[in-house]
Structure 1
Amino acid sequence: MTHVQTETGPRESRRAPSRRRARPPRRRRRVWRWIALSLVLLVLAAGGAGYWLYSDLNGNIEGVDLDKAIGDNRPEKLPTSGQNLLVLGSDSRSGANASLGTGKVAGARSDTALVIHIPEGRRKAVAVSIPRDTLVTRPECQAKDGSQLPSAKRVMFNSVYSLAGPACVVKTVEQMSGVRLDHFVEIDFAGFKGLVDAIGGVDVTVDQDIHDKSSGLDLTAGEHRLDGTQSLQFVRTRHGIGDGSDLGRIGLQQQFMIALLSEIKKQDLLGSPTKTYKIANSLTKSLTTDSGLASLTKLAEFARSMNGIDPATMETIMLPVKYDTQDPNRVVAAQPNADRLWEALRKDQEIPASAKKSPARGGGSGSSS
């Protein structure tokens, strides 16, 4: 896993006023690096750090009041300062996303779901990937058309978003895990593509040829620099790798997240206002958050509270799953491993090794650093 070292500049032998002026950029750099862990908050923290961007970008962000949308039937908040963040990547085929996919998919689905846990003390982070093909019990939610959507068993996890939106996904994750989610951030594929193109691409290494007609990805084994479109193909690829299921795709998504973090580390994005604005403008237009994060100021404040986290300590895990006995194309949570994983997050404890093991092929134990 890529290790990121914090850069510190030489001390300046200037008078106090000059030192005070020099401090904010260092704080903003620390904010920028941490936020790369969740991909989405990455750019917005930089936008928030550049106060002159505020008026142009702040209005782009869409906010959802989770307490109003979900109600009071939620897990109890941890009696610690730990934080839990749900990061969603949506694959709507409308608007700017229309040209980003090769398949004919109606509506929108949550193509990527990460529960990021930041334990008390803010010294490390854990990212848990939930396979989109996981069969779950969807709680009663309000549908997108305003009607009441009844609870249903054995529905695909990524279908929850298409029927009822991000608030219902939050409610579903909370009820299946017992983990109270403090915030959520959603970005659609168009914003993701804009991020990669704005930074000039991301380097990845693949161990074998990948030819996936469904996603359009066509790579030979070796090193490649991916542009925005190729990056989307990379994180959406599932055929031609592993067992051809969603489980192999999760491995690619985790690999790409680390590669993206490494690329951002190498670039002085805050030193280029034009590039920073281009990235932030693209992402804020494609961003939805809970109301607690729905402004550049709130995003920057949240990011600053995470300054003590070393990105190199982040651990990536897949929710332990096994193939469904009724439908081998679907997976279900593997017990007791899955319960042990969620319990560790709820109690802000170290995750036991058994909670990282997935019986389904391609599940493995995740990667850590």
Structure 2
Amino acid sequence: MSDAESNPAEQSAAEQVSPAATTRGRRRGKAPRTHVVGKVLLTSLIVLGMLTGLSVVFIYRHLNDNLTVLDVSSQLENRPDKQDQASDMPQEPLNILVMGSDSREGEGNNIDGLTGDGARSDTTILMHLSADRKQAYGVSIPRDSLVTRPDCKTEDGETIPGGENEQWNTAFALGGPACTIQQFEQLTGVFVDHFVVVDFSGFRDMVDAIDGVEVCIPEDIEDPEHGINIPAGTREVRGKEALNYVRARYTLGDGSDIGRIARQQAFIAAMANKVVSGGTLARFDRLVGFLNAATKSLIVDPGLENVFKIGKAGLSFKNIGLDNIKFVTVPFEYDTREGFEGRVVWLPEADDVWQKVADDEPLSRRLSSGAINAGELPGSGSPSDGASPSDGASPNEPDEDVTAAREAAGLCA
């Protein structure tokens, strides 16, 4: 196995915080598009891959110093078998567990006027890269998934007891990446080759480095309690305003976290496409500024300990192409039990998804129904190849489900 594909890695346990509780009841519905951090990572990987081709040594050294490398391998137990490299394949399949850290500690991190006492993870995505490097897809796990959380270890060897009917992101709050990896592997049977934690605190600098991102806001966003005031219209947002836009919840759309995630998805799609556009890549100052902010936001395992190794993975994604990288959400439905309003439970089809990952097989049309691709532009209103318009919808008219989802998220239809 190559150095770039060694086992994941060790992190000190995060301070315990209570997972965010969702008080709003929600009906059963389609899977949310919780792929924000995945697009941030893909964009960063691809641009790093391009920089690899430039062989700019002094930039490498600076970016390497930005990375935080952690080894959690000693904390992981009873791991699933790793798939052996096939004799007719030049490389092994690769599974990267991506976690978004929602820490609000530190200078400038009081996003939407709030502060916090630790790190939470609002996003978990398993990125799968096939052994032949011809396909890739991401499987997103809703943070409100109710699961049986296994015991896990801190870096000091202490045991954090597991529990039933636990919200997915509790594992990260209690034990950071190690407990999240332990939970993921135990529940899915999929071996994690690498992990990446993306800290959202670097988001503002990433947006500013590319001179802002254009968004379409259908109504004024006014939330005095959290210090948010953004006028309606199509406009470019930067800095703190961009952070407030992606964080706004209760005063925009249907007020749900699912709606906020969809809006974040659209924003990051716009950012990703701007980053890989000729205008950004042609500006060396913007390119370096974006990479500087991105690498400061990453915590990685030893197998991804420098930008050369990260860039190598990025080139694999680039060669596949953003338009050919699909994102799906693990099949789920809303829990109807009293006391669990707003939480979700995985459907039996989730086992089929994880088996495809473990076997290094593409997702079937059934499992990828409603998938989006990493190159999808916000406002297009068009589903990916894996999805079909609602029954009765004209090919020339927007899908009613897509329009409703955009309105719920507070996006222009």
Q: TM-score, normalised by structure 1?
A: 0.76
Partner in structure 1 of residue 362 of structure 2:
350
Q: 2:267 aligns with which of 256, 266, 291?
A: 256
1:283 CA drift (Å)? 2.6
Q: 1:118 aligns with which of 129, 152, 162?
A: 129
Change (3 A) 1:156 1:340: same
1:262 CA drift (Å)? 1.4
**How far, CA to CA, are the matches of 2:246 and 2:187 in structure 1?**
25
Q: Which amino acid aligns with 1:130?
A: I
**How far, CA to CA, are the matches of 1:321 and 1:208 in structure 2?**
31
Segments of structure 1 that go 5 or more residues without pairing to the other structure are 1-33, 359-365
- Residue 129 of structure 1 aligns to a residue whose secondary structure is strand
- Residue 308 of structure 1 aligns to a residue whose secondary structure is helix
Deviations along 1:179-235, one digit per CA (max 9) or x if unpaired, are 222222112122122111100112233566655667766556653322243433344
Q: Which amino acid aligns with 2:215?
A: V
Change (3 A) 1:182 1:209: farther
Q: 2:257 aligns with which of 246, 257, 263?
A: 246
Deviates more, 1:62-71 or 1:257-266: 62-71
Given that 2:275 and 2:281 are in contact with CA atoms closer than 8 Å, whether structure 1 keeps it comes out as no
Q: 2:57 aligns with which of 51, 56, 75?
A: 51
Given that 2:48 and 2:314 are in contact with CA atoms closer than 8 Å, whether structure 1 keeps it comes out as no
Q: Are 1:73 and 2:79 matched, yes or no?
A: yes
Identity among equivalent positions (%) equals 34
**How far, CA to CA, are the matches of 2:121 and 2:83 in structure 1?**
25
Given that 1:137 and 1:153 are in contact with CA atoms closer than 8 Å, whether structure 2 keeps it comes out as yes
1:164 CA drift (Å)? 0.6
Deviates more, 1:303-312 or 1:68-77: 68-77
Given that 1:36 and 1:42 are in contact with CA atoms closer than 8 Å, whether structure 2 keeps it comes out as no
Q: Size of the alignment, in residue pairs?
A: 329
Given that 2:109 and 2:115 are in contact with CA atoms closer than 8 Å, whether structure 1 keeps it comes out as no
Partner in structure 1 of residue 197 of structure 2:
186
Partner in structure 2 of residue 274 of structure 1:
285
Given that 1:203 and 1:263 are in contact with CA atoms closer than 8 Å, whether structure 2 keeps it comes out as no
Q: 1:287 aligns with which of 289, 295, 298?
A: 298
Segments of structure 2 that go 5 or more residues without pairing to the other structure are 1-37, 87-91, 371-381, 386-413
Q: 1:133 aligns with which of 124, 130, 144?
A: 144
Matches within 5 A, 1:1-369: 38-45=42-49, 48=52, 49=54, 50-77=56-83, 79=85, 81-143=92-154, 147-206=158-217, 222-240=233-251, 244-324=255-335, 325-355=337-367, 368-369=384-385
Root-mean-square deviation (Å):
3.2
Deviations along 1:84-128, one digit per CA (max 9) or x if unpaired, are 222222111212453324234331101222222223332333222
**How far, CA to CA, are the matches of 1:346 and 1:241 in structure 2?**
39
